[in-house]
């Protein structure tokens, strides 16, 4: 495999310098299976596991290799296996908070140039969900592109595209049909040799079908969609990096029924630029856009210039990010306290050792 075809460039070549003298090779994470990884390298496909030292130094799930990461591996002699010694700095990363109450992030896709936010034009169409995806997409560092799939099932495609335009400012939006191939050339225009795209969206929106069309074969498993709510079952069970015949790679991801935020307030400027701009004109700097006098945001709602549901969604995301920031601070304090305890324990052990006759 040619590394350049997988997305290798001068950025990663510079980052890999420290590993060249250690007889290590660059490789890209293609699949993750608990403690094992499938990586692509110039030697071909290798089954790899993480070196114990790297696992210890990672400290969290975010520090561990993820699909799309470039890593430094040491192939085992006469085998198709390898050991991962390091993870190269990421150019971009699409993260979400892990499920439940644990304050920890999960990398859904790393080193992505363009992230396709896939939404169905049938019963899956949901602008509020799209706002969440857009917020994390802007946070990731990748360019977001909205893909409205199943155009063959929609009677008013232009109206849906216009609706997306009210929340996805200056974001390319394409209505396509993976079933009959309509509009796929517009999708291909965003992918090319050396570029990486990731597909994100709910179950049943047709991500795997889109990839099959881009590849030209039925590689990814696809499933039926429920008629009642337009939802599908999780056919794709894990993230996977797939090379395209025409150049470039795509990362398929399992459908997500819930997308918990992992970002900060700055990320809202990309997905809610209209509200953020209006908020500057509010009388009070700490305006909550509820009932304060001189609120430019609520005035825009009253004048019909801004949809009330969008403001509600904005305030909901702000509250989530405020809570997340507090939890991050608490976790940082606990981590620091734990490290201080470990250091104190080591100092006591060294002192006892020196006191021995």
DSSP 334-348: HHHHHHHHHHHHHHH
Q: Both 238 and 210 in a single domain?
A: yes
Q: Both 139 and 70 in a single domain?
A: no
Q: Which of 108, 115, 140, 137 has its CA nearest to residue 197?
A: 115
CA 123 and chain centroid, separation: 24
- State yes or no: pLDDT of 260 exceeds 80: no
Is 11 part of any domain?
yes
- State yes or no: pLDDT of 224 exceeds 70: no
Give pLDDT, residue 101: 52
Is 60 part of any domain?
yes
- State yes or no: pLDDT of 190 exceeds 90: yes
Q: Which domain holds residue 109?
A: 93-252
Is 264 part of any domain?
no
Q: Per-residue pLDDT tens for 285-344?
A: 889 898 889 999 999 999 998 899 999 888 888 887 776 666 555 555 655 566 667 777
For residues 182 and 98, the answer to whether their CB atoms sit within 8 Å is no
CA-CA-CA-CA dihedral for 5, 8, 10, 13, to nearest 10: -140
Q: Both 101 and 232 in a single domain?
A: yes
Q: Both 277 and 338 in a single domain?
A: yes
Q: Both 16 and 46 in a single domain?
A: yes
Give pLDDT, residue 338: 61
CA 23 and chain centroid, separation: 32
* CATH number of the domain that residue 28 is part of: 2.40.50.140
Q: Both 112 and 229 in a single domain?
A: yes
Is 257 part of any domain?
no
Q: Per-residue pLDDT tens for 118-173?
A: 999 977 788 988 888 888 888 888 899 999 999 998 888 999 999 999 889 889 99
Q: Both 330 and 241 in a single domain?
A: no
* CATH number of the domain that residue 224 is part of: 3.40.50.300
* pLDDT (mean) for 239-263: 74
Give pLDDT, residue 232: 43
Count of structural domains within the chain: 3
Give pLDDT, residue 237: 45
Is 25 part of any domain?
yes
For residues 306 and 275, the answer to whether their CB atoms sit within 8 Å is yes
* CATH number of the domain that residue 316 is part of: 1.10.40.50
Q: Both 276 and 218 in a single domain?
A: no
Instruction: Kindly report the pTM of this predicted structure.
Output: 0.75
- State yes or no: pLDDT of 236 exceeds 60: no
The Cβ of residue 239 has, within 10 Å, a number of other Cβ atoms equal to 21
- State yes or no: pLDDT of 114 exceeds 60: yes
Give pLDDT, residue 174: 95
Q: Both 114 and 184 in a single domain?
A: yes
For residues 48 and 33, the answer to whether their CB atoms sit within 8 Å is no
């Amino acid at each position: 495999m040619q590394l350049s075809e997988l997305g290798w460039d001068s950025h990663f070549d510079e980052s890999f310098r420290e590993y060249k003298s250690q007889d290590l090779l660059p490789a890209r994470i293609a699949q993750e299976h608990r403690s094992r990884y499938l990586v692509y390298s110039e030697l071909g496909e290798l089954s790899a596991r993480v070196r114990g030292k790297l696992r210890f130094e990672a400290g969290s799930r975010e520090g561990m290799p993820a699909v799309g990461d470039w890593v430094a591996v040491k192939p085992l002699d006469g085998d198709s296996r390898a050991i991962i010694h390091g993870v190269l700095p990421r150019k971009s990363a699409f993260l979400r908070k892990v499920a439940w109450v644990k304050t920890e992030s999960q990398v859904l896709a790393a080193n992505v140039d363009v992230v396709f936010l896939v939404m169905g034009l049938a019963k899956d169409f949901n602008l509020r969900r799209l706002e969440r995806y857009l917020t994390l997409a802007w946070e990731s560092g990748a360019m977001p592109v909205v893909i409205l799939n199943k155009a063959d099932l929609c009677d008013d495609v232009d109206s849906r595209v216009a609706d997306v335009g009210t929340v996805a400012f200056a974001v390319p939006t394409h209505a396509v049909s993976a079933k009959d191939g309509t509009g796929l050339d517009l999708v291909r225009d965003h992918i090319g040799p050396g570029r990486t795209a990731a597909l994100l969206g709910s179950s049943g929106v047709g991500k795997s079908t889109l990839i099959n069309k881009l590849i030209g074969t039925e590689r990814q498993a696809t499933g039926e969609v429920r008629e009642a709510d337009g939802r599908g079952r999780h056919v794709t069970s894990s993230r996977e990096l797939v090379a395209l015949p025409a150049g470039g790679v795509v990362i398929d991801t399992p459908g997500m029924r819930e997308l918990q935020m992992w970002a900060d307030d700055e990320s809202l400027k990309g997905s809610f630029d209209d509200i953020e701009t209006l908020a500057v004109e509010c009388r009070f700097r700490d305006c909550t856009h509820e009932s304060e006098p001189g609120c430019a945001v609520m005035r825009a709602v009253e004048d019909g210039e801004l949809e009330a549901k969008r403001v509600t969604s904005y305030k909901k995301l702000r509250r989530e990010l405020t809570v997340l920031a507090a939890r991050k601070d608490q976790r940082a304090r606990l981590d620091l306290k734990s490290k201080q305890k470990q250091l104190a324990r080591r100092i006591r052990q060294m002192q006892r050792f020196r006191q021995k006759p």
